[in-house]
Amino acid sequence: MKNQGWSKRDFLRLSGVAGAALVLGLFDTAQADEATIVKAPAPGSENIELNTWISVAETGKVTLVCHRSEMGQGIYQAIPQIIAEELEVDLAEVDVRFAQGDSRKYGSQVTGGSSTIRGSYKKLLRLSAAAREMLVEAAARRWSVPAGECQAKAGSVVHEKTAKKARYGELIADASKLPVPASPTLKKRGDYKLIGQPLVRKDSALKTNGTAVFGLDKRLPGMLFAVVERNPRLRGKVKTFDDGKALQVPGVKKVFKIRMAVFNTYREGVAVVADSTWAAMEGRKALTVEWDDTGFEHLDTETIYGRMRDLLAKDEGLTAHNQGDPNPALAAATDKLDVVYETPYQAHSCMEPLNCVSHYQGDKVEIWGPIQAPEWVQDCLTKEFGIPREKIIINLTFLGGGFGRKAFMDYPHEATVISKEMGVPIQVVWTREDDTTQGPYRPGVTYRCEGAVANGGISALKVRLAGQNNGHWMGGPKNRANGSTMEGFLRPYLKKIAHARFSDVPFETPIPTMWWRSVYASTNGFAYESFLDELAHKAGKDPLEFRKAHLEDERCLRLLEQIAEMSGWKTRKPNEGYGVAVTSCFGSTVAQVVKVSQRPESGVKIDRVWAAIDCGWYVNPDTIRAQLEGSIVMALGAATAHEITFRDGMTVPKNFDVYRMPRITDIP
Amino acid sequence: MSTFTLSINRQPHTIEAPPTMPLLWAIRDLIGLKGTKYGCGMAQCGACTVHLNGTPGRSCSIPVSAAQGMEITTIEGVSEGNSHPVQMAWIQEQVPQCGYCQSGQIMAAVALLAGNPHPTDGDIDTAMNGHICRCGTYPRIRQAIKSAALMGPAKPKGK
C-alpha cells in the first residue's frame, strides 16, 4: 500500500491541529507492514477517505468500511459485525461507511455470487485481530506491562492489575507505528459475542425514516436529469429522430443521440436532458425516433421456445459432464422418463429502477450510484473514455435491489456519455417501463430430462438444456458448454448414478440476458429437482427417501432429515399436496418442503413453505432467515406470477400492472 | 409553469412547476425530500405513498395542482428519530432488506393504524396489498404491524 502524499510525521502533526482521524491501514496481514495513512483529512472535513476497513479517530470514534454493495442482503451489518468482534469495539458506537471502488485496496468488490462473507470473512477476522493486538501492544509498552496481561474491551485496552485503561483513540498513534502481527490470535467461535447473534442491522434505522441514500437520491450542485429512449427491440441504431416537440417541453435542455456500451456490444438511444426527472420524461414522450435494427431478428416467445424444443429433439449439445454411457443405458431400460421443462425469461425488477449519477470532468469521472461491480464500471469507462482507472471514482450508494442487474455497466456508461456532452453532473433515470422492457433478462431455458430407474434407484440420467448463455452475451467462447449447466444440481447424487450426462445445446437470440438472483440455480434447480421427483414416483419411492438414498453426503442428509422433521413429512396425510426439493447455489444448500392445496376458484394455493439452509460459516442468523423468507417470496413470484414475453421482437409486459409481482396477499 | 404552495410536513413550500407534474417529482426534485420513492409511475407499487390530509395516496399519480391546499405528510414527517410505533416495530422485526419500498410501506401502515388500531390479518392485507416489496419482506411487515398495534397509539408529534 502506498503512502499517498502524507508522511506519518506530517499526519500526526496535522492531526494534532485538526483533531482528525488516524487511519490504521491494513489490507492484509501479509502486506500490513506497509500500513500507513493514505490521506489526511482536511481540517474539519467530515469526509475522511479511508484506505481500508478500520479507522480510529483520536476521539476514539471507530469507523468501519463496507467494501461491497448493500442491496438488501445485509453486509452493511455483517462486515462490521465481523470486524467489531475481533477488534473488540461496541458495534453501536461505530460508524459504517461504504468504500469507494478500489479493487487494489479491497480485492474484488463485485457483489455477486453470494461471495462477500464467504470470500472475505477470514481476511476480515485476521486484520481486525491484528489491529486489536497492535492496540494492546501499544498500551502494554506505554504501561511497561506484559501484553498478555492486557485486554481489549469495548474500544479500550485495560490492565486490570494496575487498573489502567486507555481508549483506542489514545493508543492509535502509537499502535500505527508497531509492526503488524503476521498471525494474530483469532477467537474461538464459542467465545464470539457478536458473530452468530441476530443483531439489529445498522441500516434499519436509515431505511425506516427515509434517510438511506439510494442511487436515485443522489444530488449534486448543477446536476441535470436525463432519460433515454432506447430501441424497443433491444438492439440496433438510431436512424433518425425528431426533437422539435421535445425541446418545447418546459425544463428540457437538450436532446441528442448517444451510444451505450454493454459488455462487448453497443446500442444507440436518444437522451433527453432536463432540469427535473418529470420534464425529461415529458420531453421523451414528445420525441419520435426511427430505429435501424437490421440484422436482429424480431422474435416471438412461441418461436423462441419452439426452437429450443426442436434443438433438444435432435441435438446432443456440448457436454458439460459425462460419466458412464447414458444413451445405451437409456435405450435398454424399461422404466424410463423423457420430460421437457420450460422456465420463462424474467426481469430483475429491482424496486429502485436503474439510475446513476456521473460527473465527467475531462481528466476524471466521478460516479455515484447503485452499483454491484465498481471495478467493471472502471474498466468500461477507462476503455470508453481513455481515462486512467484511478481517475474513475466510484461512490457506492445503497441499492434498492440488485439481483445481478446492477452488475452491468450500461447505465453508468450512459450517465457518463451524457455528462460529457452536457458538461455538468447528470443523473440518468430508467423508468419502470425501461427497466422491464430493456433487459437483460434471466434467460428462458428449456430442459429435456431423460432418466431410467431400476432397483429403486436411478440407473441412467441424461439432461440437456437449451437456453441463452450469459457467458456468450459477455463475449465468452461459444464452443464450450455453458459452465453453469449443472448449477443447482447436487453433485453427491452422481455417486449413485452409473450413467449420467449433462449437456448444453447452444441457443442464441438477440435478446440480452444476464445473471438473475441465484443465476442458473433457480431454473436448473426447478427442472432437475422436478425430474428427480418424477423419477422417484416412477420408482415407487417416497420422494424424500429417494433423494436420501442417492445422496451420500452427510450435510445433505442432515438437511433432508431436518426438513422432514420440520414439515411433518412422515406424518403427512394421503392426498395432501406436499413436495420436497433440495438444491445448492454459491456455497449454500437449501431444502424446502411446500404444501399446496387445490382451490376450485383459484387453482393451486400454496399453503406453507418450510426451508432449511446449510450456509456454512455465518454472521447474523436473522439476516440468513430474512434472506430465506424473501427468496421464497421472490421465487414464488417467478414460478407463478410473472413472465417476460416477446412479440415481434419487443417485450410485451411493461409495468407492474401486467408484470405482476407477488404481493402480501399472495404469500403463504 | 405555475406557482404552487404545498404544505408538506407542516411546512409551506412554494414551487414553480407545470400543473401536471406528479406530486412525487415535485417532492423529490423541486423540494428535495427524497424519502418518497419512484417505483412504477402508475400507482401499482406504492413506493411513492404519502398522506394527503391523513389518507394514503400515490404521489406518482397525483398532479401537483391537485395537491395544493392539502396537508401532505411524507416519510420524513412521520416522527422525529424513528419514534413512531410503526417505525419502532419495523426495526424491532427487522423488516427492511434493500429498504427502497419501505417508506411507502410505512406510510400505509401508519395510516392503517391511525384509523384502525387493532387490524385483523384481513385488514392488514387490504391496507398493504397495493405495495410491492421485491425483497419479499411481507411476513415481517405483517408481524411488524401487529407489534406496532401492541405498542399503542403514536404520540402526538411535537411541532
DSSP for A93-123?
Answer: G-EEEEPBS-HHHHS-----TT-HHHHHHHH
pLDDT tens-place string over residues A333-349: 999 999 999 999 999 99
pLDDT tens-digit map of B69-124: 999 999 999 999 999 999 999 999 999 999 999 999 999 999 999 999 999 999 99
Q: Is it the case that residue A106 has pLDDT exceeding 90? A: no
Nearest to B102 by CA among B149, B138, B61: B138
pLDDT of A488 strictly over 70: yes
Whole-number Å distance between alpha carbons of B134 and A633: 8
**Nearest CB to B125 within list A219, A629, A665:** A665
Q: CA of A126, closest CA in chain B: separation in Å? A: 28
Question: Residue A474 has what pLDDT?
Answer: 78
The size of the A-B interface in CB pairs under 8 A is: 183
Query: In Å, how far from its chain's centre is CA A481?
Result: 24
At A59 the pLDDT is 83
The bridge status of strand A355-360 relative to strand B71-73 is unpaired
Burial class from Cβ neighbours inside 10 Å (0-12, 13-18, 19+) for residue B44 reads buried
Question: How confident is the model over A543-559, as a mean pLDDT?
Answer: 95
Chain B nearest-CA distance from A31, in A, is: 34
CB atoms under 10 Å from CB of A181, counted, come to 17
Which value, to the nearest 10 degrees, does the dihedral of the CA atoms of residues B98, B37, A663, A590 take? -10
Chain A CB contacts of B129 below 8 Å? 663-665
pLDDT of residue A419: 98
Q: Is A452 helix (H, G, I), strand (E, B) or coil?
A: strand
Looking at residues A97-120, what average pLDDT do you find? Answer: 90
pLDDT at A24 (0 to 100): 45
User: In Å, how far is A149's CA from the nearest CA of chain B?
Assistant: 39
Model pLDDT, residue A471: 84
CA angle centred on B109, ends A71 and B142, rounded to 5°: 70
Residue A162 CB coordination number (10 Å): 12
Residue B140 Cα, gap to closest chain A Cα (Å): 9
* Contact assignment for A278 to B29 by CB distance below 8 Å: yes
Which secondary-structure segment (H or E) carries A78?
Answer: helix A75-87
Residues of B in contact with A398 (CB under 8 A): 98-100
Q: What is the largest CA-CA distance in chain B?
A: 47
pLDDT-derived band at A513, boundaries 50, 70, 90: very high
State residue A351's pLDDT score: 98
Closest residue in A to B86 (Cα–Cα): A208
* Interchain proximity B134–A626, CB inside 8 Å: no
Task: Determine the residue of chain B that is closest to A201 in CA distance.
Answer: B94
Share the mean pLDDT of chain A.
Answer: 90
Q: Please provide the DSSP assignment of A525-545 as one string.
A: HHHHHHHHHHHHHHTT--HHH
How many CA atoms lie within 13 Å of A384's alpha carbon, on the beta-carbon side? Answer: 28
pLDDT at A46 over 90: no
Residue A107 · residue A116 · CB < 8 Å: no
- Please say if the pLDDT value at position A306 is more than 80: yes
Scan for cell 418529470, then name that residue.
A278
- Find residues 351-390 of chain A whose CB sits inside 8 Å of chain B: 351-353
The β-bridge partners of A63 are A55, A95
Does the pLDDT of residue A42 top 50, yes or no?
no
The residue behind cell 450510484 is: A369
What pTM did the predictor assign? 0.93
- Nearest Cα neighbor of A26 from A47, A63, A51, A5 is A51
What is the pLDDT at residue B126?
97
- Pick from A502, A570, A496, A569: nearest CA to A539: A496
pLDDT band at A83 (very low <50, low <70, confident <90, very high): very high
The candidate with the shortest Cα–Cα distance to A168, out of A94, A93, A89, is A89
Contacting A residues, span 49-88, partner chain B, CB-CB under 8 Å? 70-74
Distance from the Cα of residue B62 to its chain's centroid: 14
Cα gap A330→A309, rounded to integer Å: 20
CB contact under 8 A, B99 and A72: yes
- Percent of chain A at pLDDT > 70 equals 92
Confidence bin at A176 (pLDDT 50/70/90): confident
pLDDT grade for A600, boundaries at 50, 70 and 90: confident
How far is the alpha carbon of A210 from chain B, nearest alpha carbon, in Å?
4
pLDDT at position A27, please? Answer: 37
The whole-number average pLDDT for the span A27-54 is 38
Length of chain B: 159
Compute the average pLDDT of residues A149-171: 96
Q: State whether A662 and B136 contact (CB < 8 Å).
A: yes
Q: What integer pLDDT is reported at residue B157 of this predicted model?
A: 57
Interface contact A351-B134, CB threshold 8 A? yes
A107 Rama sector, left if φ>0, alpha if ψ -120 to 50, beta otherwise = left
pLDDT at res. A598 = 87
State which residue of chain A sits closest to B45, comparing Cα positions: A656
pLDDT band of residue A401 (cuts 50, 70, 90) is: very high
pLDDT tens for A205-261 read: 999 999 999 999 999 999 999 999 999 999 889 999 999 999 999 999 999 999 998
Q: Which residues of B touch A632 (CB under 8 A)?
A: 136
Q: State which residue of chain A sits closest to B39, comparing Cα positions.
A: A351
Q: Which residues of A touch B134 (CB under 8 A)?
A: 349-351, 401, 403, 634, 661
What local confidence, expressed as pLDDT, does residue A601 receive?
79
Radius of gyration of chain B from Cα atoms? 15
Query: Taking 80 as the threshold, does the pLDDT of residue A137 lie above it?
Result: yes
CB atoms within 10 A of CB B45: 30
Q: Nearest-CA distance from A650 to chain B in Å?
A: 20
Nearest CB to B44 within list A216, A429, A657: A657
Instruction: Decide: A293 and A253 in contact? Cβ < 8 Å.
Output: no
Coil, strand or helix at A398: strand
Residue B125 clears pLDDT 90, i.e. is over it: yes
The yes-or-no verdict on residue A37 having pLDDT over 50 is: no
Mean pLDDT, rounded, for B122-143: 98
**Considering chain A, what percentage of its residues have pLDDT values greater than 90?**
80
Residue A476: per-residue pLDDT = 82
Please report the pLDDT score of residue B156 as a whole number: 67
Q: Which chain B residue is nearest to residue A622, measuring alpha carbons?
A: B94
User: CB within 8 A of A100, min separation 6: which ones?
Assistant: A49, A374, A393, A394, A395, A396
pLDDT value of position A58: 79
Per the DSSP assignment, residues forming a β-bridge with A396 are A369
Q: Is A207's CB within 8 Å of B139's CB?
A: no
pLDDT of A603 > 90? The answer is no
| pLDDT band for position A52 (cuts 50, 70, 90) | confident
What is residue A22's predicted lDDT score, i.e. its pLDDT?
A: 42
CA B29/CA A15 separation, integer angstroms: 39
